[in-house]
Chains A and B, each alone.
Chain A
Amino acid sequence: MVISEQGYVHWQGTFIERRFPWWPITRLGIRLAFKRKFFKFVFSISLLPAVMFSTGVYISERLDDFQFMLKGQDRLLEVNPAFFKSYFTSEPLLFLMVMIMVLAGAGLICDDLKYNSLQLYFSRPLRKRDYVLGKMATVFFFLLILTLVPGLLFVLLKLIFAGSFKFLANYPWIPVSVIAFSLLVTLFFAFYTLLVSSLSKNRRYVSILLFLVYIFSNVFFGIFYSIFHNPYFCLLSIQCDIQQVGAAFFRQSPHYDVPWIYSFLVLAAICCLSAFVLKRKIRGVEVVK
């Protein structure tokens, strides 16, 4: 081992460029999230819908045995596109995803802004896009565990419990929809989280905002819809927009009589706004006027 003297020592090694320079940032984000109090608890709770739906897949193959419990509600346990749509657009799941972001995502950029860490990041061979990608991948990691993994698991369980490929023969597009919708909803939430996280240096403020924007958008939709009875107000609600797009991805009729593409455009607009804000906010040197 070389023992260096105190002072500056010139690095004489050869620089090996990382293939995925964003990965250390992601790894750190995941590790820090698990270190937070209550995170493991909330994350475990957020897996409950997946456990319940998995049980549903099992029961769906043994309806005769569970008839005494179902009391004629067995149509709810048919594993079909509506089943997947129910899981992916269920209010509890979306709410728990927001809570996961409050815990694991709020500090992603805001803590770096608070502690002036951006200068440290960008003094390394790291581009802005690697930084953003690293932070996004942290959100991706957690949210894909709640969306993509259970979605594919439901398909797999259905095939195993049924002992045939009939399900896939009937709905060959389901795995693609599961992947596409999981990626879409995760991408949206990643942009949303990073947008809010980049707005302040105060984690508590960001946590409240993440929650507030999601809830208030839904409340205002409720208010306007009840007064005007116009379904287009559903575009105001993040939750409804996700549900509308989810319905389209799983070839179900949307809950509100509004073309799903409008909801998709609203979500895309939020992502674009986020990209714009992130481009302006993430820089090595803070300029104070």
Chain B
Amino acid sequence: MTAVIQTKNLSKWYGNVLGLSDVSLEVEQGVTGLLGPNGAGKSTFLKLITGQIKPSIGHVAIQGQDVWNNYPLFGRIGFCPEQDAFYDEMTGWEFMTSLLSLYSFSRADVQSRAEKALDFVELAKDKDRLIRGYSRGMRQRLKLAQAVAHDPEIIILDEPLNGLDPLSKRKVIRLIKDYKEAGKTVIVSSHVLPEIEALTRTIILLHQGKILARGDIHYIRDLIDKHPHMISVKCSDPRRLASSLVGEPSVLNIQFGPAPDTVVFETQDRDKFFGLIPRLIVDHRIDVEEITSPDDNLQAVFDYLVGK
């Protein structure tokens, strides 16, 4: 498959702050997840590939063409920025139609595309309200609508699921999958692993401006799975739950506390552990208040991968 986006030795620094360091990669058709904790360089990478900033060193090309100042290329790209910024004195409808009119669509086409995009993000009934009156979730959906309204071939979404409620998240995930099926190229950035997992198997892990890992998410998952997981269960009878799991080989360690109704398990096989738990809870009639994974966040994974 030919690469849609290519970067070679791509580096960017802001004064003496390193944003991105020596990133060479090729992004192919389909959905690619860009994962990394805050400050990893995800937004810098996306700004570079959308031609908003110039590389300090290196080269970036989309479909074989240079990106910087190559404005005809932008007709094929849809970009949803991270920042919560709008022309607040416009209504949602005015915002959409104004931006669409910057493409060479007819007036009728502009209107039908705006309508379709707003309808999709469920803002149709609020389209005549001023954007400054929109909630965070509505603003996020509007940003997404402007990125896809012109039906681009390449869609670049910087933290698109931020601030969305679960239903909207599902809808956006569905949309991205539809784009994949339609043969488009989508890059989605996030610092939340499960969000990316729901979207794609191809990921790029960024950390401190460098590519830490790249490829199939299962590879990353395996790496993660080698790292013991902490799972905390807050329930009515933690000792009983612990005794029922003591014989389980995947459980490496059991600790009580810090609260009297909490037990923390350390496991090497998270999926198996989560498969067992529901049955045990039902069998022993234990009231469970909360199950959390204190280290189930990307930072913990990164810490593990970089050997901290």
Chain A residues within 8 Å of B, Cβ to Cβ: 5-6, 288-289
Q: Which 7 A-B pairs have the closest CB atoms?
A: A288-B133, A288-B132, A6-B294, A289-B133, A5-B258, A5-B294, A288-B130
Residues of B within 8 A of A6 (CB): 294
Min C-beta distance of A75 to chain B, whole Å:
57
Residues of A within 8 A of B294 (CB): 5-6
A289 vs B294: C-alpha distance when bound (angstroms): 41
* Minimum C-beta distance from B157 to chain A (A): 25
A-B contact count (CB 8 A): 7
**A contact residues around B133 at 8 Å (CB):** 288-289
Q: List 7 A-B contacts (CB under 8 A).
A: A5-B258, A5-B294, A6-B294, A288-B130, A288-B132, A288-B133, A289-B133
Q: Which of B165-223 contact A (CB under 8 A)?
A: none
Nearest-CB distance from A201 to chain B (Å)? Answer: 9
| A288 proximity list for chain B (CB < 8 A) | 130, 132-133
| CB closest residue in chain A, given B88 | A201
- Cα–Cα distance between A112 and B163 once the two chains are bound (Å): 22
Q: How large is the interface on B (under 10, 10 to 19, 20 to 34, 35 or more residues)?
A: under 10
What's the dominant secondary structure at chain A's contact region? Answer: loop
CA distance A6 to B294 in the complex (A): 8
State A214–B31 Cα separation when bound (angstroms). Answer: 57
Interface set, chain B 94-148, CB cutoff 8 A to A: 130, 132-133
Question: Within B240-261, which residues are at the interface with A (CB < 8 Å)?
Answer: 258
Give every chain B residue within 8 A of A5 (Cβ-Cβ): 258, 294
Interface code B53-67, partner A: CB below 8 Å = 1, 0 otherwise? Answer: 000000000000000
Name the residue of chain B whose CB is nearest to the CB of A289. Answer: B133
* Distance A61 CA – B121 CA, assembled complex (angstroms): 79
For residue B132, which residues in chain A have a CB less than 8 angstroms away from its CB? Answer: 288
Closest approach, in angstroms, between the C-beta of B140 and any C-beta of chain A?
Answer: 16
Q: B130's closest neighbor in chain A, by CB?
A: A288
How many whole Å from B221's CB to the nearest CB in chain A?
Answer: 23
CA distance A6 to B130 in the complex (A): 38
Report chain B residues within 8 Å CB of A289: 133
- Cα A125 to Cα B2 in complex, Å, equals 60
Cβ–Cβ < 8 Å partners of B258 in chain A: 5
Q: How far is the CA of A288 from the CA of B132 in the complex (A)?
A: 7
Nearest Cβ distance between residue B302 and chain A, in whole angstroms? 15
Rounded to whole angstroms, the CA-CA distance of A24 and B215 in the bound complex is 50
Complex CA–CA separation, A289 to B130 (angstroms): 9
Min Cβ gap A223→B in Å is: 33
